Structure 1
Amino acid sequence: MTAVSDTPAPVPDPILSTALAADLDAADFRSEPLRRLWGDEADDALARGMREPILRAIAGDQSVLATLGRLLVLGMGQPADAVAEALPRLGVPGLVALGLARVEGDTVVPVALLRPQSFVDAEGIGEWWIASDLDEVALDGALPADHVLGVGGASRTLAEIIMPIEVDRALDLGTGCGIQALLVARHAGVVVATDISARALAYAELNAQINGVSNIDFRLGSMFEPVAGEAFDLIVSNPPFVITPRVDGVPEYEYRDGGLVGDALVEQFLRTAPDFLTRGGAAQLLGNWESRGGQAALEGRAGLDRLSSWVPADLDLWVVQREELSPLAYAELWIRDGGTTPRDAAFTPLLTAWLDDFDARGVSAVGFGYILVRRPPEASASASAPALRRVERVTQPVSNVGGALRAGLAAHDALAGGLPTTLVTSADVTEARHLLPGNDDPSIIELRQGGGFARTISVDPALAALVGACDGELTVMQIAAALADLFEVPFADLWASLEPRIRQLVIDGFMHAAE
């Protein structure tokens, strides 16, 4: 077991947090001013674990912003008088009282990071200040087991896929530093944020105070225990889903390890979450899932098939697998994430433990992606409106995934009453035709989507013609009838071929009902 932090958790205090926020605001301590201060290249280097370019860029700079950058972004000690000048309202004693620093002689030594984090949602562009534990760059070594992570790649990914919907009650399960709770709080009456780590909850509460967010209820406990008997319109979670061997000598990091074997934590979440959803409520999370042996594994389906079996058939399920790693690649990724590299003596024993663990369960691959489970709305919960069951692989770059998921669910609900009479092709859809040399007829016709999941779909001439004609003027049936005459095929046969594919194009966002 890796040692725990040798510094106490922060101590949230609304008055001191307000003073800190006022000082940060006065110093213009935000992403873009900092990036201008030390330059784009140095800023990008920090994301790759290198702080030397920033230090060279601001060498000799004693400005308030440079002082705060070294102290709070890089986690480096600064002269006490410079810190006092940079934080005139909070002061050095206030920074210490919040548990963000300690004083050693004439130097203020940070014991946490506090970095600006920009975001974009339905209301526009904004920015939070997010406090978290010192990272491996500041620590110059492996992370403690109780490390509270800041805003990492997984946090940003989850933020991008959460549907932008207004809800009364939301739950952020496993809140960590609290970034998801802060984002969801913008669209919820109240957010309950839970975590098994008291240290993480302290950071999350402090971050809510610094950013002036007051509609979050913080609760300590594992999984759904702190909200027993309650129901939510939206549940979001970046759970500790990393698959870790349960053997001596393998570090168990609270921010990523749920303490269960294999992908059992994701399974437990998916089997339990529906009991805490209101009618029409949705749960969204990131996760890993294992592919284990058999023909399905050879065909790349085993992990997705296992995951689907965890969710009852009467619930909507939309799974998007973004990547799949071999056991070796997966093990190396997470060993390095903990700060251990192949140059370290501990690397090979850790790698062996991971590979032995995967072999014991016959794991051939580990998938990663987005999972959405929804209890269908009352209006569509009937035999005539089967649940949406969509399991797919999407590897291309994506954008506005949350909006695409919301639109897809809305389209699925609307289609329960039949196809809209009139459809319009979405503005981001283009068509590409591929012709063999000397041939006037295309051998391949593709519809391409500019936003959302950026899908490319091969279509035949009839469907391409229908999509091209859907401008809101003629009804779908009128267009289909004209195409039956044009292609000289019976209308019933053409419609039987077109109708299910039109439905899929509507769910995928290629087309929508005319207003």
Structure 2
Amino acid sequence: MAGVDSRTTPLTDPAGLRDLRADLAGHGVDSDALSTLLGPVAAAALRRDDPVPVRRRLRDLDGPLATFVRFFTLGDPVDAAELDELCPSLGAGGLLELGLAAPAEGGLRATCDLMPYGADAATWLVASDHGELALGSSLPHDHVLGVGGASTTLASWTPRPQVARALDLGTGCGVQALHLSTHCREVVATDVAARALGYASVNAALADVELEMRSGSLLEPVAGERFDLVVSNPPFVITPRREDVPVYEYRDGQGTGHEVVADLVRGVGDHLEPGGLAVLLGNWETGEGGDWRDVVGGWLDDAERRGTPLDAWVVQREEQDPAEYAATWVRDGGQRPGTPEHAALEEAWLADFAARGVARIGFGVIVLQRPAGERGTFRDLVDHRGPVEQPMGPRVLEGVRARTWLAEHDDDAVLDVAWRCAPDVIEERHTRPGESDPVLILARQGAGLGRTAGLDTLGAALLSVCDGELTARQAVAAIAGLLDLDAAQAQEQAVALLRELVADGFVAGGVTDRG
């Protein structure tokens, strides 16, 4: 049989891919089984793209699971008889027919990576291009990325309400679309890269789910349409616009600086139903002495001037200087530090940032909502670098609903709710040696963003009685009397604190935590 062009994608043959899925399931191929097979050292090395410990581990192992890792993960040649054992229904011939294998010296070689990936109570097989580990070289410019750090971050932060229509913008190999298929009746997936859409189609067939694939750049394929939920891991990487700098389809939108993300924030509101949500990843640049909140806030101002004001909750998760950023993304393309190629590309990045006056580059999660009513919008832009709950999606949905309620209600309404302290909140009191009165009182979350709120005596007393029995108005009146505080000032102070605590999930009430 003729060989398969290594730059094509496998065939979207539902029957053949169904046989492949059944064959691998029969051997128990999943993430847990492969981790057990490899052991902790080799499994950790695999996550670092270090094949040496993996191959050492596999030297004395045989059987279908070992064959799967050699063939699909490492990209090593495998004998046809071993592939017949791995895929008894499909066989080595069927792998060739589907374009999943090609003849090679020593047997057959996989044309793509195949990775078991489980989340949202579902387990999928995700096909994508082989990475640097299997290629042994830098990545081709049309490389289609598999399940990576950015895709798992976006999947974790995405809320999962049951909705009618969802959009995965810039789907790549289709990871986010697979997640959406678990809670959305209709899923549209778009990408400008034909090879990416080819892999997304294969992965949809492997998962036996229906996805509508559309070709085009960013929002162009859905002009005039609206969705209940939009998710996007867009090509946000900031790359110098020079001929000697390679452009990778999976990460480069070919705009200058953070233009791609800025344009997406400005325009995505037109494609949201009232009350609809968008969850995006992105980078943003700031100049010396600048504040990233002003940069992202400017994009939101632009959306409002265009006639589509948006609620926004943006969390900056990381910030790098130009040298850190350049080294990260030059290495991501397969260029190893210490080589002339790496040095030349890093210099190009640094020259670009210097020419445009960029001092810092931030990365984070942008959560947007198109308001459903006539109220004003809320805007909460925060910096949080620490660990967060996994998955974050449920907390994101709660946070958006809480902020929406706060935007819709005045201070009297806040005081008239009987708030409840969240079960994950603890209180810390710090005293100096020999003294009984605390010098610092803190409330800490164990879930969500794991935020910490500083409390004074009034705030600590108020939080201590947030048990769903007394309204905040009743509680503040009683506390003010006990502490001999001015009642009006105590109410004003309490409302300001409650708005902060409600937004961040320290306290909740029936009005804010309903589905």
Q: TM-score, normalised by structure 1?
A: 0.94
Does structure 2 conserve the Cα–Cα contact (< 8 Å) formed by 1:130 and 1:207?
A: yes
Partner of 2:404: 413
1:324-339 alignment to 2 at 5 Å?
A: 324-339=319-334
Partner of 1:278: 273
Q: Relative to 1, partners in 2 of residues 1:388 and 1:272: Cα closer, same or farther, differing over 3 Å?
A: same
> Secondary structure of 2:143's partner?
coil
Does structure 2 conserve the Cα–Cα contact (< 8 Å) formed by 1:84 and 1:92?
A: yes
Q: Match of 1:372, as an amino acid?
A: V
Out of 357, 371, 384, the residue aligned to residue 394 of structure 1 is: 384
1:218-297 alignment to 2 at 5 Å?
A: 218-293=213-288, 295=289, 297=290
How far off is 1:132 after superposition?
A: 0.6
Q: Match of 1:443, as an amino acid?
A: V
> Secondary structure of 1:414's partner?
helix
Partners in 2 of 1:101 and 1:261 — Cα distance?
Answer: 39
Out of 462, 465, 473, the residue aligned to residue 466 of structure 1 is: 462
**Is 2:313 the counterpart of 1:318?**
yes
Q: Relative to 1, partners in 2 of residues 1:365 and 1:190: Cα closer, same or farther, differing over 3 Å?
A: same
How far off is 1:409 after superposition?
A: 1.5
Partner of 1:341: 336
**Is 2:203 the counterpart of 1:207?**
yes
Does structure 2 conserve the Cα–Cα contact (< 8 Å) formed by 1:289 and 1:307?
A: no
More displaced stretch, 433-442 vs 202-211: 433-442
Does structure 2 conserve the Cα–Cα contact (< 8 Å) formed by 1:286 and 1:369?
A: yes
**Is 2:469 the counterpart of 1:477?**
no
More displaced stretch, 39-48 vs 56-65: 56-65
Does structure 1 conserve the Cα–Cα contact (< 8 Å) formed by 2:422 and 2:507?
A: yes
**Is 2:162 the counterpart of 1:166?**
yes
Out of 438, 443, 449, the residue aligned to residue 439 of structure 2 is: 443
How far off is 1:414 after superposition?
A: 2.8
Partners in 2 of 1:286 and 1:105 — Cα distance?
Answer: 42
Does structure 1 conserve the Cα–Cα contact (< 8 Å) formed by 2:77 and 2:105?
A: no
Partners in 2 of 1:180 and 1:307 — Cα distance?
Answer: 25
More displaced stretch, 104-113 vs 455-464: 104-113
Partners in 1 of 2:235 and 2:420 — Cα distance?
Answer: 42
Q: Match of 2:197, as an amino acid?
A: L
Q: Relative to 1, partners in 2 of residues 1:348 and 1:106: Cα closer, same or farther, differing over 3 Å?
A: closer
Partners in 1 of 2:302 and 2:139 — Cα distance?
Answer: 33
Q: Relative to 1, partners in 2 of residues 1:448 and 1:281: Cα closer, same or farther, differing over 3 Å?
A: same
Partner of 1:100: 100
Unaligned runs of at least 5 residues, structure 1: none
Partners in 2 of 1:113 and 1:429 — Cα distance?
Answer: 43
Partners in 2 of 1:82 and 1:300 — Cα distance?
Answer: 54
Does structure 1 conserve the Cα–Cα contact (< 8 Å) formed by 2:12 and 2:205?
A: yes
1:166-187 per-position Cα deviation (integer Å, ceiling 9, x unaligned): 1100000000010000001111
The percentage of counterpart residues that share the same residue type is 43
More displaced stretch, 101-110 vs 31-40: 101-110
1:62-95 per-position Cα deviation (integer Å, ceiling 9, x unaligned): 2111111211122211001110121111112221
> Secondary structure of 1:78's partner?
coil
1:15-94 alignment to 2 at 5 Å?
A: 15-94=15-94
1:267-304 per-position Cα deviation (integer Å, ceiling 9, x unaligned): 111111111111111111100000024x4x1x665544
**Root-mean-square deviation over aligned CA pairs:** 1.6
Does structure 2 conserve the Cα–Cα contact (< 8 Å) formed by 1:175 and 1:204?
A: yes
Partners in 2 of 1:309 and 1:322 — Cα distance?
Answer: 22
Q: Match of 1:159, as an amino acid?
A: A
